[in-house]
Chains A and B, each alone.
Chain A
Amino acid sequence: DAGITQSPRYKITETGRQVTLMCHQTWSHSYMFWYRQDLGHGLRLIYYSAAADITDKGEVPDGYVVSRSKTENFPLTLESATRSQTSVYFCASSPGAGGLQETQYFGPGTRLLVL
């Protein structure tokens, strides 16, 4: 099906482990984003990407790594998970044609618990 998907939907891991969250979109959108959602903070941008092999930091990038070798995929890796990274993670994409009014399309989210 067309759209934006995330996997896994739920993940439990332990402190210090590496975790990779996957994001895949079928629209060939140029821009992709990773957010985390926490109570009292709303959504905060972790990283974004304007195209394959182009990534940039958002508001809260520490402890996260991203890559974008293909337009349709934008994995987010927690290199050494910490309890403070327990959160709901959302991936989003947009056409990014250059206008200021670009709509972002969100995936269903990944709920991550770090023990």
Chain B
Amino acid sequence: GDSVTQMEGPVTLSEEAFLTINCTYTATGYPSLFWYVQYPGEGLQLLLKATKADDKGSNKGFEATYRKETTSFHLEKGSVQVSDSAVYFCALTPSSGGYSTLTFGKGTMLLVSP
């Protein structure tokens, strides 16, 4: 079945450092890909998404490019802030017709220190 694999955390960075969180997926066809973020004590919220190969999703300085050839959707940010400390989840919906549910990775915790 479909699956999402994320790098294990926690990822610990200093403020203004460059961030990469790796995400790879296994799915047939062309799934839609998502990054969700969970701040401490809160529910998940959508950070960005991409629906077809070579699409780039971006939001709040974060970017991720849908790479079909490497089945990847790595999350990047050029300069992290303390307020970016959170858990980040990569997810997909399969490409079959109609509505499909989300499959999540296990999440990667990011800790940013001043």
Interface of chain B, main secondary structure: loop
- Name the interface size band of chain B: 20 to 34
Known contacts A96-B99, A101-B51, A103-B49, A42 near B42 by CB under 8 Å: no
| A100 x B43 contact (CB < 8 A) | no
CA distance A69 to B41 in the complex (A): 30
CA distance A82 to B41 in the complex (A): 24
> Which residues from chain A contact B36 at a C-beta distance below 8 Å?
106
> Which residues from chain A contact B100 at a C-beta distance below 8 Å?
100
Check: A74 CB closer than 8 A to any chain B CB. no
| Closest B residue by C-beta to A35 | B104
Check: B17 CB closer than 8 A to any chain A CB. no
Name the contact of A103 in the complex, choosing from B46, B95, B104 (C-beta under 8 A). Answer: B46
| B93 x A100 contact (CB < 8 A) | yes
> Which residues from chain B contact A77 at a C-beta distance below 8 Å?
none
| B105 x A45 contact (CB < 8 A) | no
- B29-45 contact mask (Cβ, 8 Å, vs A): 1 or 0: 00110101000011111
Interface residues of B in 90-114 (CB under 8 A from A): 93, 95, 98-102, 104-107
| B45 x A33 contact (CB < 8 A) | no
Taking the closest CB of chain A, its distance from the CB of B37, in whole angstroms, is: 11
| A107 x B43 contact (CB < 8 A) | yes
- Name the interface size band of chain A: 20 to 34
Known contacts A41-B106, A42-B105, A42-B107, A106 near B99 by CB under 8 Å: no
Check: B89 CB closer than 8 A to any chain A CB. yes
| 13 contacts across the A-B interface (CB closer than 8 A) | A31-B99, A33-B101, A41-B106, A43-B44, A43-B104, A43-B107, A98-B98, A103-B46, A103-B49, A104-B44, A105-B45, A107-B43, A109-B43
Give me the interface of B with A, judged by CB distance under 8 Å: 31-32, 34, 36, 41-46, 49, 51, 89, 93, 95, 98-102, 104-107
Knowing that A90-B44, A108-B43 are A-B contacts, what are 9 other residue pairs whose CB atoms are under 8 Å apart, sorted by A's residue number?
A42-B104, A42-B106, A43-B44, A43-B89, A92-B44, A100-B95, A100-B99, A103-B46, A109-B42
Give me the interface of A with B, judged by CB distance under 8 Å: 31, 33, 40-45, 48, 50, 58, 90, 92, 96, 98, 100-109
